[in-house]
Structure 1
């Protein structure tokens, strides 16, 4: 009998597995469909020995000292300030839009915040209400910058026009009047020194944690006795899509190794106007690795494949609320993470949500005094030596 079955070995599942095992001395079985832990943050060394992110760039940033302190138990850090350029009208320009972006794009020489603010105000189209992703941008920077930087990129990313998407989509990207070219302004902008997989490997070392990979929850749930469940997968799938499927966007990745030291001046270049891919990432900027070759990844948004992004629009939120009502009635089951709560969370937000969930559980649930029973033979036969397969190189 496991105290906990945790479905999904991304940030949410791994954090909760570690907390339950180390702080409550409870026995956890952590499962995942994939052949590795770490979810979309999984990284690995490719054939050339370059550390790359399997599912596109994952940049850690947060304002929470508590979250950094927690993760610091499992990794050292390297400082990294992420910078992104967008190829617009044949020029590589800083994104988020800042003073340099505007000066280079329009051939201006704006010299201070007030001049930039005045320029943006002259371009903006005031609206009575802000409801969509298009409204956010047009009302703050005007239609020309919206068309150049946002509309094409958003349509590729979501296969919807910004006028059809919730305002949260473009509200995530600020506009600056200064020359700060960092993509994020959080207090902590850091990367795991030896990669995310090494961090997850250390997080899951506890003897109370068992791991089973390449297994589906629907196939195993009848064979694994467990007292309680934490589910971090798709909430609609858990309830057998009884109200219909929640829409997600996925990504296809084209990983390429180049026989040269560097390919581009920053970690990520966005392509809002050209190409079918949205962006190109060069990982050595992110990892700090020194290598005579370099690795890049092209990202192609698609409706097929693993779910990455909940599609933020009113109809989808209405559908999610139906599943949320079922989730609130599910006994001894907790739904945590991006897919289970149909929210676009950053990594630090998922960690924060998982830590908060643990605190609530720890405050309300009695601790188990019953000793851990033997793992059922049916489970042992399915593990196939996977229990230690949790890390990168």
Structure 2
């Protein structure tokens, strides 16, 4: 008899497995349909001995000391400030757009005050802000929108920004200074030995039984458990009773090049050219020293593994029906990006999992993260 069957060995499932086993003495069966733990954060050494992220780059960043301290039990960290370039008009310029981006594009020498004046002149205010196009055009005008956002969004989502909720492009900041970091969080780092090693340390407990390459429905009648924690697609759990929730998927093309460096940057975005959206060179992320280098090209597509919930009003309405059904389903707890149909960063998923652990055990947040055995 297990206390909990946890479906999905990504961040949400693994954090809850660790907390329930080590922090509450519960017996946990953790299952995943893939052949590995770590979910989309899974990394591994390829045939050339280079540490790569199978499902595209995962950069850890958070403003939560609680989340960072919790994960620090299972990994040392490599400090890393993520910087991204965009290929626009034959140049590589900083993204998110900042003072250097505009000066380089237009051959200007603006200071922060001049940048504010420039943006005020080109902005086309829209009210209310309903779509992703509204957000960008209101903040930086139509020309920068066309150069950086429209093509990228069309590739990424298969939809024009005018068809997507404002939240999509609202995630990307606009800076009037020269800060070229992609994130500005208090804690920015990469697991020193990789994400997979961190997950292995997290799940190393005698109360955790791990089963891979198995669908949770296949073991339903063979294993006894009291409650379920489900981190997969919520519509899948209910056999798509109200229809399928739309997701955007990705195809990854990995390459290894037998030279020390390939593109000179960690990530280069391609808003307008080519079918792929970005190229990541992993050695910049991991700090690995190796005579060769590996990169991955990302090709968005409509079908495949679910990665990104598509933020449109009709999809939100459909999810609301599943949310109500989930809330009425006793003994099953839904947590994580797929189970709650929302795009979360990794730290947000960890925080959500810790919050659920607190509810399950009646512990306050600080107590929930501090219990060890």
The bucket for the TM-score relative to the shorter chain is over 0.9
- How far apart in 1 are the matches of 2:265 and 2:354? 33
- How far apart in 2 are the matches of 1:177 and 1:301? 31
Structure 1 residue 127 displacement after superposition: 1.2
Aligned to 2:8: 8
- How far apart in 1 are the matches of 2:123 and 2:220? 55
Aligned to 1:181: 180
* 1:278 lines up with 2:277 in the alignment: yes
- How far apart in 1 are the matches of 2:349 and 2:186? 18
TM-score scaled by length of structure 1: 0.92
C-alpha root-mean-square deviation of aligned residues, in Å?
Answer: 0.7
SS in 1 for 2:362: helix
Structure 1 residue 265 displacement after superposition: 2.2
SS in 2 for 1:252: strand
* 1:24 lines up with 2:24 in the alignment: yes
- How far apart in 2 are the matches of 1:146 and 1:87? 14
* 1:78 lines up with 2:81 in the alignment: no
Which segment is superposed worse, 218-227 or 120-129?
Answer: 218-227
- How far apart in 2 are the matches of 1:304 and 1:313? 18
* 1:68 lines up with 2:68 in the alignment: yes
SS in 2 for 1:269: strand
Structure 1 residue 34 displacement after superposition: 0.2
Aligned to 2:326: 327
Pairing of 1:117-156 with structure 2 (within 5 A): 117-156=116-155
* Cα deviation 1:215-260 (Å, max 9, x = unaligned): 0112222221100000000000101101000000110000000011
- How far apart in 1 are the matches of 2:122 and 2:188? 32
- How far apart in 1 are the matches of 2:205 and 2:329? 28
Aligned to 1:377: none
- How far apart in 1 are the matches of 2:266 and 2:33? 30
- The number of residues matched between the two structures is 363
Structure 1 residue 128 displacement after superposition: 1.9
- How far apart in 1 are the matches of 2:216 and 2:191? 30
- How far apart in 1 are the matches of 2:237 and 2:273? 39
* Cα deviation 1:257-279 (Å, max 9, x = unaligned): 00110112221000001000000
Aligned to 2:369: none
Aligned to 2:232: 233
Pairing of 1:277-316 with structure 2 (within 5 A): 277-316=276-315
- How far apart in 2 are the matches of 1:160 and 1:118? 32
* Cα deviation 1:121-171 (Å, max 9, x = unaligned): 111001121011110000000000000000000000000000111111001
- How far apart in 1 are the matches of 2:101 and 2:349? 32
- How far apart in 2 are the matches of 1:211 and 1:127? 51
Aligned to 1:114: 113
Structure 1 residue 67 displacement after superposition: 0.4
- How far apart in 2 are the matches of 1:106 and 1:163? 26
* Cα deviation 1:85-135 (Å, max 9, x = unaligned): 000011000000000000010111102x21101101111001121011110
Aligned to 2:253: 254
Aligned to 1:53: 53
- How far apart in 2 are the matches of 1:301 and 1:223? 38
SS in 1 for 2:338: helix
- How far apart in 1 are the matches of 2:221 and 2:314? 34
- Structure 1: which 5+ residue stretches go unaligned? 365-393
Aligned to 1:195: 194
TM-score scaled by length of structure 2: 0.97
- How far apart in 2 are the matches of 1:157 and 1:250? 9
SS in 2 for 1:340: coil
SS in 1 for 2:17: helix
SS in 2 for 1:102: helix
Structure 1 residue 43 displacement after superposition: 0.0
Aligned to 1:103: 103
Aligned to 1:36: 36
- How far apart in 2 are the matches of 1:265 and 1:183? 17
SS in 2 for 1:142: helix
Displaced runs of 4 or more, over 3 A: none
Aligned to 2:268: 269
- How far apart in 2 are the matches of 1:143 and 1:222? 58
